[in-house]
């Protein structure tokens, strides 16, 4: 889920860059020296996960997992996603410098917003599955919405394109919700510390 | 997986200083991204082609990358000409909007121009060089360390994930559109995350033990040579030429 270079207008690009810079600043402050390596490793794991194609009907979708990243890393997901996007740009030329900020806002901003309501509910074993599903679902839905908004603010003529973008992501939302739910369930059983459920090894978010 | 296909080579683009290449590419991308005129975007595409030729990359691989990006752009060609407002070319039932075709053409020119410059200037450096270059350009040090360590472990985790996936396939897992498939992928990814997290803690401890202060020290500080500056000045001139073309066509009111 990226926008390529050369599509959006100057003000949209600038707005995205400013928001992404602020978010990255906050995120970097939250990642202290002790958590730098775990953040880097999780970021690498998410990069690998984003290359996985999951079958849906006759086709397949590739995962975004921005909701899961925000659940695990909090604000730290902004620099982590920025790094992943830089790597994708250098490796595959998906996106580039000017659109980087907007793409960070689309993915990380949507992840933070989509999962913020559900992060505290993961501790409760009963509502965990629903909360994780909703976080995954909403994060992709918001990302598609942000992308549509970026397109329409650039040029009114992108309206139909933006609608198609949103509708095309409907199946992705459901798949992301399901995968996020199963990953969170697995982590809660195997290594609850990653979710911050047993705060002995990682510090709780202030 | 084909990572970093373009970073090895001996062309002028490969040899140039990574910091100047990054600044030049950024400047050029910003100018092109702000273009509204077809003439400005067209000139940018020409410059992109020249730079790409200067990098002497494997043509087939470059073509594949450009093809992928243009497939994404087909999506705009599939919607814009039929949806945009304004005067239209009429072919019986089909109304093709002029503004839509123009917008799709503009986007295609700009996207390809920026990608070509990016391929020629940025993809010709290794990720490690880019990470150190960004740090030298005063980006937050923690961000650059994060970038370098993420890059370092992508390959390791990719292998870990593939090992788990192969094990699942050997045990008769056939991916389909089913809850079972999603649960299996959830478990595979969850296990990859657990492994990455545990490895992160071990790497953290190992680095701490070796006195890591969150900063890399380079034994050979990168030096900028005369021809690097020449390339840089040429880049800035090319970007300015695009800007001038853009401004004159805006002032003249032609497309």
In this structure, the strands spanning A59-62 and B88-91 are unpaired
pLDDT of B227 > 60? The answer is: yes
Whether residues B103 and B20 share a domain: the answer is yes
Whether residues B90 and B199 share a domain: the answer is no
Query: CA dihedral in degrees (A87, B6, A61, A126; nearest 10)?
Result: -30
> A93 and B154 in contact by Cβ < 8 A?
no
pLDDT of A200 > 50? The answer is: no
pLDDT tens digits for range A169-185: 999 999 999 999 999 99
**What is the mean pLDDT of the segment spanning B182-207?**
92
Whether residues B56 and B125 share a domain: the answer is yes
Q: What are the Cα distances from residue A107, in Å, to A88, B218, B226?
A: 14, 34, 41
CB pairs under 8 A between A and B: 239
Hey, is the C-beta of B111 within 8 angstroms of any chain A C-beta? yes
pLDDT of A134 > 50? The answer is: yes
> A36 and B154 in contact by Cβ < 8 A?
no
Q: What are the Cα distances from residue B149, in Å, to A127, B107, B142, B143, B222?
A: 35, 35, 11, 10, 21
> B192 and A49 in contact by Cβ < 8 A?
yes
pLDDT at position B81: 83
Domain annotation covers residue B60 = yes
- Provide the 3-class DSSP secondary structure of residue B178: coil
Chain B contacts of A22, Cβ < 8 Å? none
How many CA atoms are closer than 13 Å to the CA of A72, on its beta-carbon side? 33
Whether residues B70 and B159 share a domain: the answer is no
pLDDT at position B253: 63
pLDDT at position A203: 42
Q: What are the Cα distances from residue A175, in Å, to A42, A52, A186, B254?
A: 21, 12, 16, 47
Domain annotation covers residue B215 = no
pLDDT tens digits for range B158-167: 999 999 999 9
Residue of B182, B183, B184, B213 to mutate, testing the A interface (most A Cβ within 10 Å of its Cβ) = B182
Percentage of residues of chain B with pLDDT beyond 90: 47
Q: Which of residues 147-206 of B touch A (CB under 8 A)?
A: 147, 149-154, 156-158, 161, 175-177, 179, 181-183, 185-187, 189-201, 203-204
> B84 and A157 in contact by Cβ < 8 A?
yes
Q: pLDDT category, B93, cuts 50, 70, 90?
A: low
Q: Which domains does chain A have, with CATH numbers?
A: 10-195 (1.10.1760.20)
Whether residues B191 and B147 share a domain: the answer is yes
pLDDT of A78 > 70? The answer is: yes
Whether residues B202 and B124 share a domain: the answer is no
Phi and psi (nearest 5°) for B38? -65, -35
> A48 and B111 in contact by Cβ < 8 A?
no
Do A88 and A95 contact (CB within 8 A), yes or no?
yes
Q: pLDDT category, A17, cuts 50, 70, 90?
A: very high
Hey, is the C-beta of B91 within 8 angstroms of any chain A C-beta? no
Integer-rounded Cα Rg, in Å, for chain B is 23
Do B231 and B24 contact (CB within 8 A), yes or no?
yes
pLDDT of B59 > 50? The answer is: yes
Query: CA dihedral in degrees (A175, A73, A80, B203; nearest 10)?
Result: -120
Number of domains in chain B: 2
* Higher-pLDDT residue of A204, B73: B73
What domain range includes position B201? 139-209
Q: What is the mean pLDDT of chain B?
A: 88
Q: Give the DSSP letter string of B121-134.
A: HTTTS-HHHHHHHH
**What is the mean pLDDT of the segment spanning B120-146?**
90
Across A34-43, B88-97, B187-196, the highest mean pLDDT is recorded for B187-196
pLDDT of A160 > 90? The answer is: no
pLDDT at position B11: 85
Domain annotation covers residue B245 = yes
User: CA-CA distance, B165 to B252, in Å (whole number)?
Assistant: 60
Q: pLDDT category, A201, cuts 50, 70, 90?
A: very low
Closest partner residue to B197 (CB to CB) among A5, A79, A191 is A191
ipTM of this complex prediction, to 2 decimal places: 0.88
Whether residues B93 and B117 share a domain: the answer is yes
Q: pLDDT category, B251, cuts 50, 70, 90?
A: confident
Chain A contacts of B34, Cβ < 8 Å? 10
Whether residues B85 and B127 share a domain: the answer is yes
* Higher-pLDDT residue of B144, B4: B144
Chain B contacts of A183, Cβ < 8 Å? 186, 189-190, 193
> B29 and A40 in contact by Cβ < 8 A?
no
Give the helix/strand (H/E) hosting B106.
Answer: helix B98-121
Hey, is the C-beta of A59 within 8 angstroms of any chain B C-beta? no
Percentage of residues of chain A with pLDDT beyond 90: 51
Q: pLDDT category, B1, cuts 50, 70, 90?
A: low
Where in chain A does DSSP place strands (E)? 53-56, 59-62
pLDDT at position A95: 77
pLDDT at position A206: 39
Hey, is the C-beta of A123 within 8 angstroms of any chain B C-beta? no
Domain annotation covers residue B183 = yes
Whether residues B53 and B111 share a domain: the answer is yes
Whether residues B194 and B229 share a domain: the answer is no
Whether residues B180 and B112 share a domain: the answer is no
User: CA-CA distance, B7 to A147, in Å (whole number)?
Assistant: 31
Whether residues B181 and B235 share a domain: the answer is no
Chain A contacts of B80, Cβ < 8 Å? 157-158, 160-161
pLDDT at position B78: 85
Percentage of residues of chain A with pLDDT beyond 70: 95
Q: What is the mean pLDDT of chain A?
A: 88
Q: How far apart are the first and last CA of chain A?
A: 31
């Amino acid at each position: 889920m990226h926008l390529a270079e050369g599509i959006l207008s100057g003000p949209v690009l600038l707005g995205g860059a400013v928001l992404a810079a602020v978010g990255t600043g906050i995120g970097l402050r939250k990642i202290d020296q002790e958590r730098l390596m775990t953040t880097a490793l999780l970021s690498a794991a998410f990069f690998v996960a984003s290359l996985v194609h999951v079958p849906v009907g006759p086709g397949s979708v590739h995962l975004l997992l921005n909701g899961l990243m925000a659940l695990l890393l909090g604000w730290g997901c902004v620099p982590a996603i920025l790094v992943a996007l830089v790597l994708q740009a250098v490796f595959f030329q998906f996106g580039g410098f000017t659109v980087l900020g907007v793409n960070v806002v689309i993915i990380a901003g949507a992840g933070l917003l989509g999962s913020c309501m559900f992060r505290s509910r993961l501790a409760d074993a009963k509502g965990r599955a629903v909360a994780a599903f909703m976080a995954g679902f909403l994060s992709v839905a918001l990302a598609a919405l942000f992308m549509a908004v970026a397109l329409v603010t650039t040029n009114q003529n992108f309206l139909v394109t933006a609608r198609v973008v949103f509708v095309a992501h409907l199946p992705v939302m459901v798949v992301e919700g399901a995968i996020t739910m199963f990953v969170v369930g697995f982590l809660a059983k195997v290594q609850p510390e990653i979710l911050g459920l047993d705060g002995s090894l990682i510090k709780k978010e202030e | 997986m084909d990572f970093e296909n373009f970073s090895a080579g001996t062309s002028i683009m490969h040899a140039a200083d990574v910091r100047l290449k990054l600044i030049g590419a950024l400047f050029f991308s910003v100018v092109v991204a702000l273009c509204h005129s077809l003439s400005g975007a067209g000139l940018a595409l020409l410059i992109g082609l020249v730079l790409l030729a200067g990098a002497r990359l494997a043509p087939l691989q470059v073509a594949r990358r450009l093809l992928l990006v243009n497939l994404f752009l087909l999506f705009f060609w599939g919607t814009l000409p039929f949806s945009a407002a304004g005067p239209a070319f009429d072919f019986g039932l089909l109304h093709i909007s002029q503004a839509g075709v123009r917008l799709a053409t503009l986007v295609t020119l700009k996207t390809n121009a920026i990608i070509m410059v990016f391929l020629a200037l940025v993809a010709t450096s290794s990720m490690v060089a880019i990470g150190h270059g960004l740090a030298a350009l005063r980006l937050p040090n923690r961000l650059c360390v994060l970038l370098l360590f993420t890059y370092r472990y992508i390959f390791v985790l990719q292998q870990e994930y593939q090992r788990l996936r192969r094990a699942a396939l050997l045990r008769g897992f056939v991916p389909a559109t089913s809850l079972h498939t999603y649960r299996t992928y959830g478990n595979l990814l969850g296990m990859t995350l657990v492994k990455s997290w545990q490895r992160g803690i071990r790497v953290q401890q190992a680095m701490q033990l070796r006195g890591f202060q969150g900063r890399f020290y380079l034994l050979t500080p990168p030096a900028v040579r005369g021809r690097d500056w020449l390339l840089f000045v040429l880049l800035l001139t090319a970007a300015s030429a695009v800007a001038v073309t853009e401004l004159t066509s805006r002032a003249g009111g032609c497309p």
